[in-house]
């Protein structure tokens, strides 16, 4: 789960990481008021869950209150990479002497948190990582001891010449690591970490992704989820324990298992079709999940055919069949063709159920995909 | 021989009185696996389908000779269950449970690093050595004894591939689902080492997916250490970058982890990569020749 | 540092450990009011920093409000092992089905926290430890992972037959460990941990000693120090960075270093004298510390002679000499004889300073102790 | 030879710009110890009495060949300083700092257990090998080169004993103050092993005090593994039970840790125990004969 910059900054502030004082506005008028309270010049910054906000015109400096109101009006309602901007963060603009980068992720290779710092912050850090990886200093942290102060200093002394600034940065890095660990983050970043004209460090931007598996033990962070900032179908899916990602094709897919779902999508594409979505109904699927999956797919008007690809394991084919029959019963008439593949645990029982409802299931994945692609072309 | 599980495997089921645990304990036993004990704290002394239940894994190890644990407990207890199994002396721990926080798994891996236990999973379908033992949730009816090793980060996609091999008359030595989480106990390179050393495995099928760099590391490892033929399939060519595809592990991060990169790495190491799952059968047949 | 039972119970309650609801009274009238609020029968329990309160009559049950007031009146003002009772804890009396013990200390041998549980709680647990050590179940905890839930269960299932009670106890033990670690405890105990008539567990007593070295990072616990419950001279000493323990003899000692101080006391005793105190002025001693030490010793009317035994290392003999001369100057006339031994770092300079003030120092410990013992006998 | 420190010892002083660090760095250098570097983060590039200062211990190790660290930093930074020295590859770390929280030291000991570094202290006076090297705060003028090893949990009491040996013409191979805290890096048994193996040590003087069971363990160890004569002294016979005597370690806890018990354990192992410090000289003379 992603949280907004302003929410991440609130968390950072709780951990003693210096962030410029700021607040969120949802209308130009409020933006003006906030700017008046903070004092111009201020930054007006779109709060959406995508990168590249600056390039898209979603980050602007306002020198006057009028400008703040005008810019907020322009940015609010703007669409960045398909997401509508509903909130802007207003905070005091600072003089910037230098921009650095600090980040922490869990490294899948070493299986521990990896801390990264670079003097080349502010710009596209991924490009720095690709082009000049030696400019990024990394440390795999022993999670049983956490980031030790001397290790934090070693990292920050390597990117700052001034020992006073390096010492400030080491403290920030220690706190960032503590926040990362205590908040079950999967990613935390400060980019840029700036040195102001008064030689003080500030986290000018803040990025914080939370491990979805840990939300049950991070109730305060779970509450930060901005439902408005999410795609309604993905939200519905999560509510039912499904994993759904909308795409642009015409073949709606209902699959159990992420790997098989991706394999199905790949095969649709290879056979000349376009998948309309990724949808994993997961293991232990109840009939309710199947019903929910149907409802979600039918909201997508691009969908021309619905493909079920179920390989029973922990998922029972009879559960899926029951779910499908129930869903069709509840929905009344469904105009779209449905093609079904059932194999594995309780597949015989599943087929019996479908047969009674006049639905036919095939046995092979290749066959069901072939059928679906042809039907979508009609 | 085969790898990891066989007729010497004596399984203790952690969480045997839960819905999934109870069902799969019986499924495993019906397949012929030696399911010697179950564990649910507070239910010690009871039994389930003739399987004795204990309060602690240590009791199952001491009194029933359990050497392998399979875990079906809810996600907030699973980290403790893994540590308990390791402490009790289980050599192999298969964690089916999904939804364990990543940083909890980071701690668990540190805990395991001090001991001898091998962890498979979490969030995995488990292991099956056809005709000998099934530890986990893989459907037993789709496998067939033979000489092809199968290893995968996926669940149902593995079944798909195994099923097609079986339909084509190609049996398997051992099939392993490693799990799709960012932090897993056993990775491709670990199982490749085991398959390479196993005299009953002739070919290895490797089924990868987007996210992480385990497939790239496997490619590197194969080119240096594996003499047996390996064929591969990678799922996720159509996955859009940055989108979460169900598995926490299946996120394309930064400049690496895409299906295209993984396929390129494998092909550069001389490993044939199937364009679609059904092509795997043909590649395996070719490799056996 | 020790905290009172009622303070320890407040901390335990914050960690979710069940403690009987209770409050502290400093007068019989308030005790009666509290008892009325809680409902009789209530326990009336002396809050002093010593063991054996029950045997000394400091713990009583009151069946009526009148009895509560009367008993509080009796216990308040009582002296237990030399300490005056100034506070009583009033809490609801519970039916007791069984009494167990739970405790955690840092084990010096394994250098990790050691968790102990026993079904034989309530009585003198130290006797159990001596007579039937097999009744105490121990676990050395790996501090990097903390007490794991299955380990806590293994301990509590070994002392309770009922799985429901054992599971409750495991949760309490987990929380006790968390409290121990997070509060920098040197000792935490629940004795007795009782099973009530409703099969619920309660921490009926609570003991919690804090590591003095950690008080700087445990400000909330440091605030719990009950200055009234401490010996004034020991309090003064701590305020000046000295370590002082009052004893009953006549030879007042000022020594640098705990080992040398104990060695000095032992030698006084061997030579037929009685040490009046332990007093370690520590390393890096400033003149102020020596002045403070003199003031503290002079408050003890038993003291007949003051013995300085200083072996300079990190402590400089000239600092000590200056301190002594300054102290004598400030105090005006000191009637007691002072015998001094100075050796080690800057001892020559120290002797010069003393000489100018008409004080003589000897070189050997045996000599200075011999002198002091003889003078004390006069 | 001697043990732990000698003329091969190259010392880095952590906290060299502090009051104690600055004073003792010079004292050590004047004694003839090779003090090759100091460390104070942020003061790298400066120097103190011709000793170069670095930001990190690693730099002192890499650029000046430091192999031993001595720590004078304030107590809230000392745990980090110890870990840094270990990570940088110092073989010996002497921590003079007092006041480190016990649970912090519990963590530090776990950190050190993974590596090769030996810690002396914390809250200790350090080590001196007369005529060769002094690492810590012991007064150099009271020692004399010779063949008696001295090890103690105390500070000034050690000086007392060493001084009396020196006055009696008996020199020392190495004198070590282990520190009085509950958790210390090196204990009696560790140093007894070193002295036993040291061809330049003939007799060992062990100076204990109340609290803990290190002396009892030493008695046990000596009776099993030490062939050289050992003489002992225990301080604290007059200490009342349960009272804190300055050192956190000097608390008589439960049924063990009293001076009387320690003396009994040592005597049971055949080790002569001096009734008072000045008697040690006589016992040593007897042991040498």
In this structure, are residues C334 and C366 in contact, taking their beta carbons and an 8 Å threshold? no
Label the pairing between strands A88-92 and A42-46: antiparallel
Q: Do residues B111 and B147 both lie within one domain?
A: no
Partner-chain contact A211 B248, CB within 8 Å: yes
Is the pLDDT score of A50 beyond 50? yes
> Is residue D131 included in any domain, yes or no?
no
> Is residue C6 included in any domain, yes or no?
no
Q: Do residues A244 and A284 both lie within one domain?
A: yes
Distance from CA of D262 to the nearest CA of A (A): 36
Q: Do residues A236 and A364 both lie within one domain?
A: yes
> Is residue D40 included in any domain, yes or no?
yes
Q: Do residues D41 and D181 both lie within one domain?
A: no
Is the pLDDT score of D249 beyond 50? no
Q: How many domains does chain D have?
A: 2
Centre a 10 Å sphere on the Cβ of residue B10 and count the other Cβ atoms it contains: 19
- Residues in C closer than 8 angstroms to D245, CB to CB, are 243, 245, 258, 261-262, 278, 280
Which residues are CB-contacts of A301 (< 8 A; sequence separation ≥ 6)? none
Partner-chain contact D246 C270, CB within 8 Å: no
In this structure, are residues C21 and C92 in contact, taking their beta carbons and an 8 Å threshold? yes
Q: Do residues D109 and D162 both lie within one domain?
A: no
**Which of B86, B120, B154 finishes a domain?**
B120
Q: How many domains does chain A have?
A: 3
**Which of C222, C254, C274 finishes a domain?**
C222
Partner-chain contact B209 A267, CB within 8 Å: no
Is the pLDDT score of B255 beyond 80? no
> Is residue D171 included in any domain, yes or no?
yes
Q: For the segment A91-132, what is each residue's pLDDT rounded down to a tens digit?
A: 999 999 999 999 999 998 899 999 999 998 886 777 777 788
A67 is catalytic: no
Q: Do residues C59 and C152 both lie within one domain?
A: no
> Is residue A7 included in any domain, yes or no?
no
**Which of D92, D120, D148 finishes a domain?**
D120
Chains that touch A (3 or more CB pairs under 8 A): B, C, D
> Is residue D130 included in any domain, yes or no?
no
Q: Do residues D250 and D113 both lie within one domain?
A: no
Q: What is the model's pLDDT at position B254? A: 44
> Is residue B126 included in any domain, yes or no?
no
Chains that touch D (3 or more CB pairs under 8 A): A, C
Among the residue ranges A14-28, B18-32, B188-202, C42-56, the one predicted with the least confidence is C42-56
Q: What is the model's pLDDT at position D248? A: 44
- Residues in B closer than 8 angstroms to C174, CB to CB, are none
Q: Do residues B111 and B156 both lie within one domain?
A: no
CATH of the domain at A55: 3.30.1490.20
Q: Do residues B176 and B258 both lie within one domain?
A: yes
Q: Cα–Cα distance between C59 and C76 in angstroms, integer?
A: 11
CATH of the domain at D267: 3.40.50.261
Partner-chain contact D42 A149, CB within 8 Å: no
Q: Do residues C212 and C281 both lie within one domain?
A: no
Q: Do residues A244 and A268 both lie within one domain?
A: yes
Q: Do residues B87 and B197 both lie within one domain?
A: no
Distance from CA of A161 to the nearest CA of D (A): 10
- Residues in C closer than 8 angstroms to D209, CB to CB, are 258-259, 262
Helix or strand or coil: residue A60? strand
Q: What is the model's pLDDT at position B206? A: 98
> Is residue A238 included in any domain, yes or no?
yes
> Is residue A5 included in any domain, yes or no?
no
Q: For the segment C134-186, what is each residue's pLDDT rounded down to a tens digit?
A: 889 999 999 999 999 999 999 999 999 999 999 999 999 999 999 999 999 99
Closest chain D residue to A143, measured at CA: D111
In this structure, are residues A174 and A149 in contact, taking their beta carbons and an 8 Å threshold? yes
> Is residue A16 included in any domain, yes or no?
no
Q: Cα–Cα distance between C167 and C161 in angstroms, integer?
A: 11
Q: Do residues C208 and C302 both lie within one domain?
A: no
B-proximal residues of A, 56-95, CB under 8 Å: none
In this structure, are residues A28 and A70 in contact, taking their beta carbons and an 8 Å threshold? yes
For residue B120, list its beta bridge partners. B94
- Residue A255 in contact with partner chain B when CB distance is under 8 A: yes
- Residue C378 in contact with partner chain B when CB distance is under 8 A: no
> Is residue C15 included in any domain, yes or no?
no
Q: Exactly one of C101, C160, C177, C244 is catalytic; which is it?
A: C101
Q: Exactly one of C99, C189, C233, C370 is catalytic; which is it?
A: C189
Partner-chain contact A145 D107, CB within 8 Å: yes
CATH of the domain at B71: 3.40.50.720
C370 is catalytic: no
Centre a 10 Å sphere on the Cβ of residue D289 and count the other Cβ atoms it contains: 6
Out of A325-329, B19-23, B55-59, give the one with best mean pLDDT. Answer: B55-59
> Is residue C9 included in any domain, yes or no?
no
Q: Do residues D268 and D151 both lie within one domain?
A: yes
Q: Do residues B243 and B275 both lie within one domain?
A: yes
Which of C144, C149, C167 minimises the CB distance to B80?
Answer: C149
- Residues in A closer than 8 angstroms to D80, CB to CB, are 148-150
Q: For the segment C347-370, what is each residue's pLDDT rounded down to a tens digit?
A: 899 999 999 988 889 989 999 999
CATH of the domain at C182: 3.30.470.20
Q: Do residues A126 and A209 both lie within one domain?
A: yes
CATH of the domain at A296: 3.40.50.261
Chains that touch B (3 or more CB pairs under 8 A): A, C
Task: Determine which of D22, D103, D254 to mutate to test the interface with C (most C C-beta atoms within 10 Å).
Answer: D103
Q: Do residues A266 and A130 both lie within one domain?
A: no
Q: What is the model's pLDDT at position C234? A: 83
**Which of A222, A245, A273 finishes a domain?**
A222
Better-scored residue on pLDDT, C123 or A14 = A14
Better-scored residue on pLDDT, A361 or B195 = B195
Helix or strand or coil: residue C190? strand
Domain that holds residue C312: 232-376
> Is residue D129 included in any domain, yes or no?
no
Q: Do residues C164 and C103 both lie within one domain?
A: yes
Q: Do residues D115 and D145 both lie within one domain?
A: no
Q: What ipTM does this complex have?
A: 0.92
> Is residue B171 included in any domain, yes or no?
yes
3-state secondary structure chain D: CCCCCCCCCEEEEECCCCHHHHHHHHHHHHHCCEEEEEECCCCCCCEECCEEEECCHHHHHHHHCCCEEEECCCHHHHHHHHHHHHHHCCCEEEECCCCCCHHHHHHHHHHHHCCCCEEECCCCCEEEECCCEEEECCCHHHCCEEEEEEEECCCHHHHHHHHHHHHCCCCEEEEEECCCCCCCCCCHHHHHHHHHHCCCCCEEEEEEECCCCHHHHHHHHHHHHCCCCEEEEEECCCCCCCCCCCCCCCCCECCECCHHHHHHHHHHCCCCECCCCCHHHHHHHHHHC
Q: What is the model's pLDDT at position A285? A: 66
**Which of B120, B152, B186 finishes a domain?**
B120
Mean pLDDT, all residues of chain C = 91
Closest chain C residue to A144, measured at CA: C144
Domain that holds residue B70: 10-120
**Which of A92, A117, A152 finishes a domain?**
A92
Taking residues D6-19, what's their average pLDDT? 96
B-proximal residues of C, 137-196, CB under 8 Å: 144-145, 148-150, 153-154, 157, 163-164, 166-167
Distance from CA of C162 to the nearest CA of B (A): 8
Distance from CA of C353 to the nearest CA of D (A): 21
Q: Do residues B174 and B245 both lie within one domain?
A: yes
Centre a 10 Å sphere on the Cβ of residue C223 and count the other Cβ atoms it contains: 9
Which has the closest alpha carbon to D171: D198, D138, D205? D205
Q: Is the peptide bond before C77 cis (omega within 30 degrees of 0)?
A: no
- Residue D183 in contact with partner chain C when CB distance is under 8 A: yes
Handedness of CA C150, C156, C160, C162 (dihedral sign): negative
Q: Do residues D168 and D91 both lie within one domain?
A: no
Distance from CA of A144 to the nearest CA of C (A): 6
> Is residue B132 included in any domain, yes or no?
no
Q: Do residues C88 and C142 both lie within one domain?
A: no
> Is residue A8 included in any domain, yes or no?
no
Which has the closest alpha carbon to C189: C165, C201, C172, C213? C172
Q: For the segment C222-276, what is each residue's pLDDT rounded down to a tens digit?
A: 999 988 777 788 888 888 889 899 888 999 999 999 899 999 999 999 999 999 9
């Amino acid at each position: 789960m992603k949280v907004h910059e302003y929410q991440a900054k609130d968390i950072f502030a709780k951990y003693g990481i210096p962030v410029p004082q700021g607040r969120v506005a949802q209308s130009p008028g409020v933006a003006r008021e906030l700017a008046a309270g903070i004092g111009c010049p201020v930054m007006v910054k779109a709060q959406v869950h995508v990168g590249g906000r600056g390039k898209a015109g979603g980050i602007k400096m306002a020198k006057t209150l009028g400008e703040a109101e005008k810019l907020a009006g322009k940015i609010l309602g703007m669409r960045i990479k398909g997401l509508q901007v509903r909130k802007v963060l207003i905070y005091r603009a600072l003089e910037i002497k230098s921009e650095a980068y600090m980040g922490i992720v869990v490294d899948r290779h070493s299986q521990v948190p990896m801390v990264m710092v670079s003097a080349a912050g502010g710009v596209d850090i991924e490009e720095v990582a690709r082009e000049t990886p030696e400019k990024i200093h990394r440390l795999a942290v022993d999670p049983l001891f956490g980031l030790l102060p001397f290790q934090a200093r070693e990292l920050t002394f390597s990117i700052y010449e001034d020992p006073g600034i390096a010492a400030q940065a080491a403290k920030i890095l220690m706190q960032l690591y503590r926040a990362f660990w205590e908040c079950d983050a999967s990613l935390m970043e400060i980019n840029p970490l700036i040195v102001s004209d008064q030689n003080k460090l500030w986290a000018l931007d803040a990025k914080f992704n939370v491990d979805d598996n840990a939300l049950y033990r991070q109730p305060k962070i779970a509450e930060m989820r901005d439902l408005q900032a999410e795609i309604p179908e993905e939200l519905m899916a999560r509510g039912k324990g499904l994993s759904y990602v909308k795409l642009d094709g015409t073949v709606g897919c209902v699959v159990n298992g992420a790997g098989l779902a991706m394999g199905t999508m790949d095969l649709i594409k290879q056979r000349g079709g376009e998948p309309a979505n990724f949808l994993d109904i997961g293991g232990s699927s109840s009939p309710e999940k199947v019903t929910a999956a149907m409802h979600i797919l039918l909201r997508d008007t691009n969908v021309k055919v619905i493909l079920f690809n179920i390989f029973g394991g922990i998922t029972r084919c009879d559960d899926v069949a029951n779910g499908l029959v129930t869903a069709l019963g509840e929905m009344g008439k469904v105009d779209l063709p449905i093609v079904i593949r059932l194999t594995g645990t309780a597949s015989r029982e599943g087929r019996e159920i479908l047969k009674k409802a006049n639905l036919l299931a095939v046995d092979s994945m290749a066959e069901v995909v072939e059928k679906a692609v042809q039907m979508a072309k009609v | 021989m085969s790898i990891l599980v066989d007729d010497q495997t004596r399984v203790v089921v952690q969480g045997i009185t839960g819905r999934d645990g109870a069902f799969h304990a019986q499924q495993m036993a019906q397949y012929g696996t030696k399911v010697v004990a179950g564990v649910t704290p507070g239910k010690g002394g009871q039994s389930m389908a003739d399987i004795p239940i204990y309060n602690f894994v240590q009791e199952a190890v001491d009194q029933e000779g359990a050497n392998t644990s399979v875990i079906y407990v809810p996600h907030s207890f699973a980290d403790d269950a893994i540590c308990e199994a390791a402490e009790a002396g289980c050599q192999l721990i298969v964690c089916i449970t999904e939804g364990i926080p990543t940083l909890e798994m980071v701690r668990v891996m540190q805990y395991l690093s001090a001991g001898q236990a091998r962890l498979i999973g979490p969030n995995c379908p488990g292991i099956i050595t056809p005709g000998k033992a099934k530890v986990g949730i893989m459907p037993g009816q789709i496998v067939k004894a033979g000489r092809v090793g199968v290893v995968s980060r996926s669940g149902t996609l593995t079944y798909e591939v195994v099923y097609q091999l079986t339909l084509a008359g190609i049996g398997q030595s051992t099939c392993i689902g490693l799990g799709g989480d960012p932090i897993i106990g056993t990775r491709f390179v670990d199982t490749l080492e085991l398959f390479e050393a196993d005299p009953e495995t002739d070919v290895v099928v490797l089924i990868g997916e987007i996210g992480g760099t385990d497939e790239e590391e496997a490619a590197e490892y194969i080119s240096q250490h594996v003499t047996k033929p390996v064929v591969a399939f990678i799922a996720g060519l159509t996955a859009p970058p940055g989108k979460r595809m169900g598995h926490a592990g299946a996120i394309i991060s930064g400049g690496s982890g895409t299906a295209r990169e993984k396929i390129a790495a494998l092909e550069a190491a001389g490993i044939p990569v199937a364009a679609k799952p059904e092509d795997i059968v043909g590649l395996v047949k070719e490799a056996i020749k």
